[in-house]
Structure 1
Amino acid sequence: MHTTTDNQAKTFTAEKSRIQDFTDFTAEFPHEHAFLFDGIILGICSKGNMRFKINYNEYHISANEAFVILPRHIFTIIRTSPDLQLKILRFSSDFLLTLPTNPDFSLARRISHYPCISIQPQDMENIQLLYTMARQYESLSDLTLQLQSSLHLSIAFIITASFEQAPARGELPLSRQENLTKSFFHLLLQHYQTQRSVAFYAEQLCITPKYLTTTVKRITGYSIQDWINDITIITAKRYLKTSSRTIQDISEELHFQTTSSFIRFFRQHTGCTPLKYRKDND
């Protein structure tokens, strides 16, 4: 058996999406470390078993089961069986926020409480087929990277569907603070391109900015301004990578007062100017 002890969590990031065998994952991120990933991790077990922690809660996974680790959660491996066969799929936060779907707060809450799920045999066969196809496209051309990402997403959708179809497990109703946070994200997705002040969202929810800020921080671990900045930057990156809009056009689309203020905001949160980002991702 491989064992590990609790250590200070190491933060790591990844490309848009990546799938790898567990042995490759542990070669990159050894057993004895805890990791904090700014994205989503999915694990699919086809043989053997593993014990692990998410945010210091312990879980067990065995054959024909999967687990999901949500963004900004700590992952620590405790013990693995010698015959473990496990595939790890990672999606970066940048990639997740460019998807044409809105976050499902209720599903995320369910996964947070019960991160492990049984996978039906036919679904396991489909996952293996998609995995085999994805591994056939290892070159770094734009076309094959897009194809790989699509195959990775297909695997993720199979696992997500398993969570959605699973019977309820005595889930508690949302607390007032969780409902408030859910309402905030609903408003954010509607207005983030035009509204970046906490006061606006607090007014829409008929509460004080201080109470909204405290609540969202308590439920998610990150401030409202962090979430607003994140989604604004991701949207700006998407425009820079996928459209021919000028920097001025993007600035106006995101309702910055001036192009200069947009450039300063982008540089502050990415470390480079919008023009350099576009050139580097051309």
Structure 2
Amino acid sequence: MSKDTARLDINGSIRYFLSTAGQAPQSFGIDKYGELPPSHDFAILSNEGGVKSSQPIRTDHFALILCIRGHCSKTVGPHTFQVIPQSIHIVSPRDLHSFENASDDLLLYMILFRDAFIANTFIKEHILDALLELPSEHPPVYHLDDNEFKVIRGLFKKIAQEYQRAHLFYLQVVRLLVVELLFEVNRSHERALQQTVGRTGRKFQLVAAFKKLVEEHFHTVRTVQQYADMLHVSANHLGEQVKEETGENALTIIHKRIFLEAQYLLRTSSCSIKEIAEQLSFDTSSHFSRFFKHFAGLSPSAYKADNK
């Protein structure tokens, strides 16, 4: 990754996702149109007044996002999934992420925090690490039953209330409530795993391993055959299994990941088109331009100019 690319901090994330179309009423969390909190470690807010889609970004913080109503399509790392009511998903600083096709009625409650924010509790560090680092083979989204949704929504509201009142020791209380929320999310994760036991057979494991390898090696490993060799299977077998499991071609998954990184670098990096092409292992700038235009419908230089 280019040293010139930046990760958004919490205030940067809020400003990035805030629409310029005009102020919207705020019914939950902080007022995004007012003065943002001085701390860069924590914020609680809604998506009200936010954009309807985003380019790929990376952040220096975690996000816990509860869907109250509406829907959108979200990509986090190698996973693309639907955000629907009574679902909660997690975004880690390790993951490139974006979203699109947000419905007009989409309402999300969001908690943004750096791991340093919850480190100052009585919970041991290795337990916090386990709460934050969920298995990468599954999409980081959990569909809550009615009781789970009631409990988790209640915790979001209690955190917002504590934070807004700012009474004595409020940050300590908020930290503990966020940890409690993480435990509740992990409970939902465990229940979801129990319900998907049938999907953890050889095909699922192979495709999950393929996606993980793509995430790790897409800069330099470009063919289905290369990934098949790494997984000790034939290219035909890998392609068939990926197609059955995901509905997409294996090569399409590789190319989509390269394209996402290209978007991110073009938008956030000071590197030239030639330098970005080299970072992504294209033999020439023109090859990279043809590849990018195939997905974006415009050249890398035009995309870069539009996203300054």
* TM-score (norm: length of structure 2): 0.50
Alignment of 1:22-37 (within 5 A): 22=69, 25=70
Alignment of 1:265 with 2:294, yes or no, is: no
Q: Secondary structure at the match of 1:272?
A: coil
Assess, with a 3 A threshold, how the Cα gap between structure 1 residues 116 and 257 changes in structure 2: closer, same or farther: same
- The residue that corresponds to 1:42 in the other structure is 83
Q: Counterparts of 1:216-235 in structure 2 under 5 Å?
A: 216-235=242-261
Higher percent of residues as strand: 1
Map 1:6-21 → 2, pairs under 5 A: 14-16=52-54
- The SS at the match of 1:119 is helix
Gaps in structure 1 of 5+ consecutive residues: 1-12, 30-34, 45-65, 70-85, 91-100, 133-155
> How high is the TM-score relative to the length of structure 1?
0.54
Counterpart position of 1:60? none
Give the counterpart letter for 2:194 in structure 1: R
Deviation at 1:125, TM superposition (A): 3.1
Specify whether residues 105 and 191 from structure 1 end up closer, same or farther in structure 2 by C-alpha distance, changes over 3 A only: same
Specify the code of the residue in structure 2 equivalent to 1:198: V
**Aligned AA for 2:197?**
L
Match of 2:189 among 164, 171, 196: 164
> Using CA pairs below 8 Å that are at least 6 residues apart, which structure has the higher relative contact order?
2
1:190/1:162 CA distance change after superposition, 3 Å: same
Aligned to 2:144, which of 112, 116, 134? 116
How much identity, in percent, do the aligned residues show?
A: 22
- Structure-2 change in CA distance of 1:128 and 1:274 (3 Å): farther
1:29-59 superposed Cα distances (whole Å, 9 cap, x missing partner): 9xxxxx9888544344xxxxxxxxxxxxxxx
Structure 1 Cα separation of the partners of residues 283 and 135 of structure 2: 29
Secondary structure of 1:105's counterpart equals coil
Report the residue type matching 1:123 in the other structure.
I
Shift of 1:104: 2.1
Q: Distance in 1 between matches of 2:287 and 2:192?
A: 49
1:200-222 deviations in whole A, cap 9, x for unaligned?
A: 01111121111100001101111
CA-based RMSD: 4.2
Give deviations 1:101-149, integer Å, cap 9, x for gaps. Answer: 99722456x95xxx433436563134347889xxxxxxxxxxxxxxxxx
